[in-house]
């Protein structure tokens, strides 16, 4: 597993934007979820926690009346520079907010009426920055995932939904590969008595859906058709499993009491 | 329509079929003048399958008096011999194995009948008068007497081929009453006066004396090693050399083909003149005496001379649990072979056999196929798509095997011995595309996995 992971360079590059963030957050409070050790301990846990945190924050923000965020779904490459520009505003705002985020929000809310237009402007900017950061991390996560999904050479960048879709398919494909150690059967290898292979393609079957357990497995070319005659098989079977009965030799019967041996089938035929 | 499908579904879960089996000899000796040479072995009828018992229970539930559900029948020769003098009433007795058994011991064909072949007709009724149907045996060849001449392979229908079925019987001093048939009862070979069994007769490769019954094709000749296997019980006798018998002598140097109704003897292979022999009910070994005058002859006793005759069987299976009418179940269609055609969008199954009619439809499991009648021996149907058996993905990913049945428009089901299989065909994830050696560096392994995934999942990329 390690050997394989080594060849996913994207995974290591994955959390890098979060480390970058530390440059503009000197505040302890904003670091509490961004400890570098946590990344190393469990990348997945961290990611989940981080997403959850952002999600909570976003929901809370939506609850606010006059918080009009600019939700940008900018891609990672274009927004990196922009984030640096906004960095200062974010720093100034979050400075001094040592309380947990929820409480901090409630505090902000209480103080809202007291705030000046400039302060509100700053708040909005800060919220925008947080939202951009959230989106940025999601986009980066997608970019990381995207890097692991094989694409067609001429394929344009995968959309998020396609990335997820193909990831599901690819995981199914890989687990099938692992499970079926042997490559799937090569055509024409089975000993059917029928002379030629008749294959029907699918009529009226629905398109694959990511919820199918076979999603991502090679699609079926169709079904080959064959038939068997059980009567024939039965006759062949009778011959194969025949038990040999040897008639008694009356002369031996008189001589020896071990006559039962005579009735035992030869070992070759005992199945 | 759907209720029919439900019915068929229920039937397939518990196929309580009724089966009629007619067992008879391939040849019959003609009776001249006033003589009556009864067919030997006598034609036998076996009624098997849980459907008979079910039918009986239905009759009983319907308040039928005790004898109302008894099966009775008549057997005779086809053609003009349908008058009652020529037919024989049958009564069935229940055997230990729950089969009903009857045999027609007094049938013969007179020399007035000039046909070279004929069939036996079996008419079955319930004792309340309800007709079950009219069933036919296979063709029986009429012969005047056993061939005395050296048999030529040109006269192939009198020869006995390896893998065909035979009956063996023994008749002391040509007395009909003393006839005993080789049979198998309770795991042992017996000489039964009541019942006979049909045995597959095989040529055994003399080289490979042990193991998996090495079989050979061709006609059986005297002097060759053969094996007899009971078709019902699977019990076999050890390999034996088949010998021609002439006036109670086994002839060791004769190698001509074995012919119908010849007298023959079976010497246990490798034994000192030990022959298959009967002693009343029992089947034992008998040591023949060497002939002082002729080293190629061995003197047998009466019990070790057997008459050999080829046998045939006609089997009819039906189920009337879904039938809406009380019409006779016959003619029972029989599928002899299948032929697949087409492919791609539509595959057609050609059905060859006997007794087809326009009121028959081919069913694949519980799915009715679009069926076109051509003539009494040919029908064509459209193979249903595999998705007709269930829309779940499993139905597509694993082989699906369904039994083939023929169902009459009134709902009478004829089970066949054929089953039909849909095997999923991958767009091959084959070994050529994946590097087999692990020594290859994992970069190229990943590359090839990626490549294989994109190749086989092209449809996923094309979805948007």
Asked casually if ipTM beats, i.e. exceeds, 0.85, the reply is no
In this complex, the residue of A6, A165, A239 whose CB is nearest that of residue B213 is A239
Helix or strand holding residue B293 (H, E): none
CA–CA gap between residue B71 and residue B329 (Å, rounded): 14
Q: What is the pLDDT of residue B357?
A: 92
Residue to test with chain A: of B238, B460, B462, B464, most A Cβ within 10 A: B460
Give tens-digit pLDDT for A169-188: 888 878 777 776 544 333 33
Q: Do A239 and B434 touch (CB under 8 A)?
A: no
CA–CA gap between residue B87 and residue B149 (Å, rounded): 34
SS3 B412: coil
Q: What is the pLDDT of residue B120?
A: 92
Q: Do B423 and A226 touch (CB under 8 A)?
A: yes
Q: Is B323 on the interface with A (CB under 8 A)?
A: no
pLDDT less than 70: residues of chain B: 1, 63-68, 80-85, 150-154, 174, 176, 206-216, 391-396, 426-443, 455-464
Q: Do B396 and A207 touch (CB under 8 A)?
A: no
Instruction: Please report, for chain B, the start and end positions of each structural domain, with discontinuous segments joined by +.
Output: 17-144, 158-207+216-309, 327-425+448-462
Buried b (16+ CB within 10 A) or exposed e, B365-386: bbbbbebebeeeeebbbebbbb
Q: Is B150 on the interface with A (CB under 8 A)?
A: no
Q: Is B306 on the interface with A (CB under 8 A)?
A: no
CA–CA gap between residue B373 and residue B375 (Å, rounded): 6
Q: Do B425 and A218 touch (CB under 8 A)?
A: no
Instruction: State the CATH class of domain B158-207+216-309.
Output: mainly beta
B158-207+216-309 has the same fold as B17-144: no
In this complex, the residue of A185, A199, A214 whose CB is nearest that of residue B343 is A199
Q: Is B419 on the interface with A (CB under 8 A)?
A: yes
Q: What is the pLDDT of residue B122?
A: 93
B17-144 CATH:
2.60.40.1450
**Length of chain B, please?**
464
CA–CA gap between residue A223 and residue B105 (Å, rounded): 52
- Minimal C-alpha gap between B168 and chain A (Å): 16
On chain A, the residues whose CB falls within 8 A of the CB of B200 are 235, 238-239
Q: Do A199 and B385 touch (CB under 8 A)?
A: no
On chain B, the residues whose CB falls within 8 A of the CB of A221 are 425-427
Q: What is the pLDDT of residue B153?
A: 66
CA–CA gap between residue A130 and residue A135 (Å, rounded): 9
- Minimal C-alpha gap between A210 and chain B (Å): 10
What the block records as the tokens of B405 is 């049945």
> Would you give the DSSP letter of residue B410?
T
What the block records as the tokens of A57 is 């924050």
Q: Do B457 and A212 touch (CB under 8 A)?
A: no
Alpha-helix runs per DSSP H in B81-191: none
In this complex, the residue of B202, B430, B453 whose CB is nearest that of residue A170 is B453
- Minimal C-alpha gap between B249 and chain A (Å): 20
pLDDT less than 50: residues of chain A: 1-51, 54-55, 57-99, 182-194, 204, 256-271
Interface list for B 366-385 with A (CB within 8 A): 383, 385
Q: Is B397 on the interface with A (CB under 8 A)?
A: yes
Tell which residue, B102, B41, B95, B40, has the closest CA to residue B75.
B102
Of all residues in chain A, the one with the smallest CA distance to B457 is A218
B327-425+448-462 CATH:
2.60.40.10
Tell which residue, A17, A22, A36, A30, has the closest CA to residue A95.
A30
Q: Do B457 and A219 touch (CB under 8 A)?
A: yes
Give tens-digit pLDDT for B407-463: 999 989 999 999 998 888 765 444 444 444 444 566 677 777 777 777 666 666 655
What the block records as the tokens of A5 is 């992971």
């Amino acid at each position: 597993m390690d050997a394989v992971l080594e060849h996913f360079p994207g995974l290591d590059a994955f959390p890098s934007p979060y480390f970058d963030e530390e440059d503009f957050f000197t505040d302890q409070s904003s670091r509490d979820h961004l400890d570098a050790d946590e990344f190393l301990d469990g990348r997945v846990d961290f990611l989940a926690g981080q997403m959850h945190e952002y999600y909570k924050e976003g929901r809370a923000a939506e609850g606010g009346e006059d918080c009009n965020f600019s939700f940008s779904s900018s891609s990672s490459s274009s927004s990196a520079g922009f984030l640096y520009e906004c960095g200062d505003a974010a720093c100034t705002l979050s400075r001094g907010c040592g309380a947990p985020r929820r409480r901090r929000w409630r505090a902000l809310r209480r103080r809202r009426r007291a705030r000046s237009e400039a302060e509100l402007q700053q708040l909005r900017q800060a919220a925008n920055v947080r939202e951009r950061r959230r989106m940025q991390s999601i986009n980066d996560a997608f970019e990381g995932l995207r890097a692991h999904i094989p694409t067609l050479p001429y394929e344009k960048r995968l959309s998020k939904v396609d990335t997820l879709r193909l990831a599901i398919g690819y995981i199914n494909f890989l687990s099938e590969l692992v499970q079926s150690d042997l490559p799937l059967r090569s055509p024409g290898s089975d000993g059917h008595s029928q002379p030629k292979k008749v294959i029907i393609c699918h009529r009226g079957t629905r398109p694959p859906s990511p919820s199918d357990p076979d999603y991502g497995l090679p699609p079926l070319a169709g079904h080959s058709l064959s038939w068997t005659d059980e009567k024939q098989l039965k006759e062949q079977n009778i011959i194969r499993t025949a038990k040999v009965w040897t008639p008694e030799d009356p002369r031996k019967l008189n001589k020896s009491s071990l006559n039962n041996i005579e009735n035992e089938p030869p070992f070759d035929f005992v199945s | 329509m759907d209720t029919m499908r439900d019915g068929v579904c229920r039937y397939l879960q518990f196929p309580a079929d009724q089966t009629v089996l007619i067992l008879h000899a391939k040849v019959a000796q003609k009776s001249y003048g006033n003589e009556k040479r009864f067919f030997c072995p006598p034609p036998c009828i076996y009624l098997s399958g849980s459907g008979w018992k079910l039918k009986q229970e239905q009759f009983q539930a319907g308040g039928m008096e005790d004898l109302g559900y008894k099966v009775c029948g008549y057997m005779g020769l086809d053609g003009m011999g349908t008058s009652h003098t020529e037919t024989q009433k049958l009564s069935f007795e229940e055997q230990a194995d729950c089969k009903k058994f009857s045999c027609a011991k007094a049938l013969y064909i007179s020399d007035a009948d000039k046909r070279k072949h004929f069939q036996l007709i079996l008419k079955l009724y319930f004792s309340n008068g309800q007709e079950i149907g009219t069933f036919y045996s296979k063709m029986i060849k009429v012969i005047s007497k056993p061939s005395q001449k050296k048999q030529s392979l040109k006269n192939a229908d009198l020869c006995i081929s390896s893998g065909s079925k035979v009956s063996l019987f023994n008749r002391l001093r040509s007395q009909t009453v003393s006839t005993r048939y080789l049979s198998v009862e309770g795991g042992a070979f017996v000489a039964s006066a009541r019942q006979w069994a049909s045995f597959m007769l095989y040529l055994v490769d003399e080289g490979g004396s042990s193991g998996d019954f090495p079989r050979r094709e061709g006609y059986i000749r005297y002097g060759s090693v053969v094996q007899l296997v009971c078709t019902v019980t699977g019990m076999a006798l050890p390999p034996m050399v088949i010998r021609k018998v002439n006036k109670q002598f086994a002839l060791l140097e004769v190698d001509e083909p074995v012919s119908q109704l010849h007298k023959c003897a079976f010497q246990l292979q490798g034994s000192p003149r030990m022959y298959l022999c009967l002693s009343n009910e029992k089947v034992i070994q008998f040591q023949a005496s060497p002939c002082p005058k002729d080293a190629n002859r061995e003197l047998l006793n009466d019990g070790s001379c057997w008459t050999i005759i080829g046998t045939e069987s006609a089997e009819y299976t039906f189920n009337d649990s879904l039938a809406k009418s009380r019409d006779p179940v016959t003619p029972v269609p029989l599928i002899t072979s299948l032929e697949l055609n087409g492919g791609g969008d539509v595959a057609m199954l050609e059905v060859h056999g006997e007794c087809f009619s326009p009121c028959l439809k081919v069913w694949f499991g519980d799915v009715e196929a679009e069926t076109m009648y051509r003539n009494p021996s040919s029908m064509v149907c459209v193979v249903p798509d595999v998705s007709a058996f269930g829309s779940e993905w499993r139905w597509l990913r694993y082989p699906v095997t369904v039994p083939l049945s023929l169902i009459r428009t009134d709902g009478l089901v004829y089970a066949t011995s054929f089953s039909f299989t849909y095997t999923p065909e991958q767009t091959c994830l084959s070994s050529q595309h994946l590097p087999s050696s692990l020594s290859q560096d994992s970069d190229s392994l990943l590359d090839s996995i990626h490549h294989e995934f994109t190749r086989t999942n092209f449809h996923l990329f094309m979805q948007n």
